[in-house]
Amino acid sequence: MPILSAVEPLRHAFTLRGADPARVLTQALGLPAPIRSLRQVHGARVQRVGPEPFPEGLEGDALITNVAGVPLAIAVADCVPVLICDPATRAIAAVHAGWRGTVAGVLGAAIRALHAAYGSDPAGMRLAMGPAIGPCCFEVGDEVVDALLRSDTGATGCVRDGDRPHIDLRSALARQARAAGVPETGIEASDLCTACRGDLLESYRRGRGRAGRMLGLIAWRS
């Protein structure tokens, strides 16, 4: 997305349905393998990645690093993939945020972790949200609306009432990023809906639980 493409030598991608992540990494982005990824659990734990080999199966929903040539990845199929960079400190993050992670505050946690680990100022961060289930299709139960509004009482505008409520996760996450200090001008969001665009994207909900995964990928070229 433009807000990240403008930063050199940053590389990023949101993969589409059927894409081979290793191919995207090496051919489209010119980055070395392996990808650093987590066992995602819809929580708010942030894991810091250094130059040393990264353990398999580590739990968490956000990765941060400032090491060049280390690709961070999170996997999604309706949840929101969020990629962040701070050009000033060369710090980056990849965040997985479904409704549970949003309510748990995973995006705010990642932004604060970038500050704590690398001294990154949220005011200089650039943040891109990729394709995810949109407010058109993300029908939820009242308990999800309650949980969202308990975590952010100002998020009423992210709930669309109808026969059943629908939630706009990306606008809820934009609120969370702004509350953590990222300016409006540093935030960009795709409006592609995974459930509407079955031709392009994977959707857990549309596939009734059977879906491939797409990746959000980010790294500094070394």
Provide the binding-site residues for Zn ion, judged by CB under 5 A: 134, 136-137, 193, 195-196
Pairing of strands 10-14, 214-220: antiparallel
Nearer to Zn ion, 68 or 136 (CB): 136
For 192, the token pair is 């592609």
Residue 145 CB partners (closer than 8 Å, separation 6+): 159, 165, 167
Closest to Zn ion by CB, 187 vs 195, is: 195
Torsion of CA 64, 193, 191, 40, to 10 degrees: -10
Give min distance, CB of 206 to Zn ion, in A. Answer: 9
Q: How far is the CB of 160 from Zn ion (least distance, A)?
A: 12
Helices (H), the chain: 2-5, 21-23, 99-104, 106-118, 142-151, 169-179
Distance in Å, CB of 77 to Zn ion, minimum: 14
Cβ closest to Zn ion, residue 1 vs residue 137: 137
Query: Closer to Zn ion at the Cβ: 131 or 216?
Result: 131
By C-alpha distance, which of 9, 70, 62 is closest to 34?
70
Judged by beta carbon, residue 80 or residue 109, the one nearer Zn ion is 80
Q: Can you tell me the distance from the alpha carbon of 205 to that of 198, in angstroms, rounded to the nearest whole number?
A: 11
Least distance to Zn ion, CB of residue 133, Å: 7
Q: How far is CA 117 from CA 47, 176, 185, 218, in A?
A: 11, 20, 24, 18
Q: Which is nearer to Zn ion, 144 or 182 (CB)?
A: 144
Q: Which of 62, 50, 70, 35 is nearest to 118 (CA)?
A: 50
Q: How far is the CB of 191 from Zn ion (least distance, A)?
A: 10
Instruction: Output DSSP code: residue 25.
Output: I
Least separation, in Å, of the C-beta of 17 and Zn ion? Answer: 15
